[in-house]
Amino acid sequence: MSLPGGPELFIILFVILLVFGASRLPKLARSMGQAGKEFKTGMREGFKDQPVEGPCPFCGIAVAEESKFCPGCGKSAEDIVAEKNRKEASSA
């Protein structure tokens, strides 16, 4: 089995574009970049300063970075971060 070359890579990218939709790609790339950034942050600082931004672990609604409460279920940012850390720890 060989690594994908130029044409194969193009086909793979085209399939990804079809699967995810062109409009969702920037968001996908952003979330992937964010995941990488958060991973690096986590490696460096532990889980203490994990941002609250992202889907709420309780209700799944997106929470803004500066939020103090989840707009969906009303859980505090501290609860959300703590629950995220707990889930990450249990899945690792």
The smaller minimum CB distance to Zn ion, of residues 40 and 68, is found at: 68
Size of the site for Zn ion (CB under 5 A): 6
Q: Rounded to the nearest whole angstrom, what is the least distance from the CB of residue 75 to Zn ion in the complex?
A: 5
Interface residue with Zn ion among 50, 51, 56, 77 (CB under 5 A) is: 56
Q: Please tell me the distance from the alpha carbon of residue 63 to that of residue 47, in angstroms, as a whole number.
A: 18
**Coil, helix or strand for 76?**
strand
* Neighbour tally for 68: CB within 10 Å: 10
Q: Rounded to the nearest whole angstrom, what is the least distance from the CB of residue 21 to Zn ion in the complex?
A: 26
Q: Please tell me the distance from the alpha carbon of residue 80 to that of residue 57, in angstroms, as a whole number.
A: 6
Interface residue with Zn ion among 58, 79, 83, 88 (CB under 5 A) is: 58
Hey, which residues between 59 and 78 contact Zn ion (CB under 5 A)? 59, 70, 72-73
